[in-house]
């Protein structure tokens, strides 16, 4: 975990072990986690913000203009925009087991792009991994560069995020806890490779998942946004993308989530806060009013995804952090 407050790193710690085994490796501040869907905001959304600033990406541009195979035969798909992919109002399904029908990256992207809509575009918010798979491919084509190399050069390196990457090198393996004992798909313990099966077929580089990082690096990224995006983004872009779209009930900000009631961020984050959760047990919440960020990284999916206790742990953890900060103020 990592906490920043008013431009200072006030907490950085690791608690517990990689697994429940008696001789398991202890967690410390250098431990690297599979961020799962927190990848959506640190990598994919930030890349979209940068391309938007460079006038290479128009938020209300139809997806089919950048990704022609998305159009299909249903004219309603012509109304789906990049903004809708970002705020989860495109009408796409939340999740599909695309990895069961595709054994290579190209086929999986094609199948995601052809996924039938489950709602009229722009009428309701449904959180969608499929939308961010499509968005990741769209951004790579727009930039003329793969997602991982763009993010490495334009985001991670400028921010000094030295322990953040897609597809971690093998020599990082001892710093990465396993996420699952996969008995059905890969039929092995998954450690040092992406947990998400669709992202696995996408060779570990995807718009919805795939990023690995330490809590310290996530905190560095959060501080960049608290600093108004400097040195990689403009303040007005950060404000645009982190403000919830009120036009559709239950909608998200652009790529980012915001607190609801009840919220995994707990009960103390301000209404202007924004953040994101990751399926493996990760989260990042940022409160610009308090000048605060809280990063929580776990591998709650070990040895399988059966437990959902993280839904209780997250708000309890965040409330404890903010109560402690308030007592010491």
pLDDT tens-digit series, residues 287-300:
999 999 999 999 99
Predicted pLDDT of residue 315: 98
Model confidence at 99, pLDDT cuts 50, 70, 90, reads: very high
* Domain locations along the chain: 2-328
Per-residue pLDDT of 158-176, as tens digits, reads 999 999 999 999 999 999 9
Band (39; pLDDT cuts 50, 70, 90): very high
Share of residues in the chain with pLDDT > 90 (%)? 95
More confident position, 130 or 248: 130
The pLDDT confidence band at residue 249, using thresholds 50, 70 and 90, is confident
Collect all residues with Cβ–Cβ distance below 8 Å to 19 and sequence separation of at least 6: 177, 178, 302, 303
Measured distance CA(198)–CA(290) in Å, rounded: 37
pLDDT at 245: 85
Model confidence over 50-71: pLDDT tens digits? 999 999 999 999 999 999 999 9
* 201: phi then psi, degrees, rounded to nearest 5: -65, -30
Q: pLDDT averaged over the chain?
A: 97
Q: Would you state the pLDDT for residue 52?
A: 98
Q: Are 203 and 30 in contact (CB under 8 A)?
A: no
Is pLDDT of 90 > 80?
Answer: yes
Rounded mean pLDDT of 200-226? 98
pLDDT beyond 90 at 261: no
Confidence bin at 224 (pLDDT 50/70/90): very high
Whether 99 contacts 201, CB under 8 Å? yes
pLDDT at 33 over 90: yes
pLDDT at 241 over 90: yes
pLDDT for 257 equals: 97
Work out the pLDDT band at 36, boundaries 50, 70, 90: very high
Percent of the chain whose predicted confidence (pLDDT) is above 70 = 100
What integer pLDDT is reported at residue 248 of this predicted model? 86
- Rounded to whole angstroms, the Cα distance separating 76 from 63 reads 12
What does the pLDDT read at residue 265?
A: 97
Q: Are 139 and 44 in contact (CB under 8 A)?
A: yes
pLDDT in tens, 129-150: 999 999 999 999 999 999 999 9
Dig out the tokens for 272 from the structure. 């202007």
51 and 139 Cβ atoms separated by less than 8 Å: yes
The CATH number given to 2-328 is: 3.40.710.10
pLDDT (tens digit, 9 = 90+) per residue, 302-329? Answer: 999 999 999 999 999 999 999 999 988 7
């Amino acid at each position: 975990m990592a906490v920043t407050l008013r431009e200072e790193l006030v907490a950085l710690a690791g608690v517990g072990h990689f697994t429940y085994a008696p001789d398991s490796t202890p967690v410390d501040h250098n431990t690297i986690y599979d961020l799962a869907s927190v990848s959506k905001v640190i990598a994919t959304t930030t890349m979209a913000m940068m391309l938007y600033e460079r006038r290479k990406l128009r938020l209300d541009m139809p997806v089919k203009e950048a990704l022609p195979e998305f159009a299909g035969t249903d004219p309603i798909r012509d109304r789906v925009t990049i903004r809708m992919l970002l705020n989860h109002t495109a009408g796409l399904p939340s999740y599909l087991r695309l990895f069961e029908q595709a054994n290579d990256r190209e086929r999986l992207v094609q199948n995601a792009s052809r996924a039938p809509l489950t709602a009229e575009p722009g009428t309701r918010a449904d959180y969608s991994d499929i939308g961010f798979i499509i968005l990741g491919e769209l951004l790579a084509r727009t930039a003329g560069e793969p997602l991982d190399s763009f993010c490495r050069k334009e985001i991670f390196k400028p921010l000094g995020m030295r322990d953040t990457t897609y597809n971690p090198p093998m020599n990082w393996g001892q710093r990465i806890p396993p996420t699952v004992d996969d008995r059905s798909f890969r039929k092995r313990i998954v450690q040092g490779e992406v947990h998400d099966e669709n992202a696995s077929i996408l060779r570990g580089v995807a718009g919805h998942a795939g990023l690995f990082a330490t809590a310290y690096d996530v905190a560095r990224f959060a501080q960049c946004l608290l600093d108004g995006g400097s040195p990689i983004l403009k303040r007005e872009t950060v404000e645009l993308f982190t403000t919830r779209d009120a036009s559709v009930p239950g909608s998200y900000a652009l790529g980012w989530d915001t607190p609801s009631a009840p919220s995994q961020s707990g009960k103390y984050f301000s209404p202007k806060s924004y953040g994101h959760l990751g399926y493996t047990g990760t989260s990042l919440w940022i409160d610009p009013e308090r000048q605060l960020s809280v990063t929580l990284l776990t591998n709650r999916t070990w040895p399988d995804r059966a437990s959902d206790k993280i839904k209780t742990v997250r708000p309890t953890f965040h409330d404890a952090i903010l109560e402690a900060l308030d007592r010491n103020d």
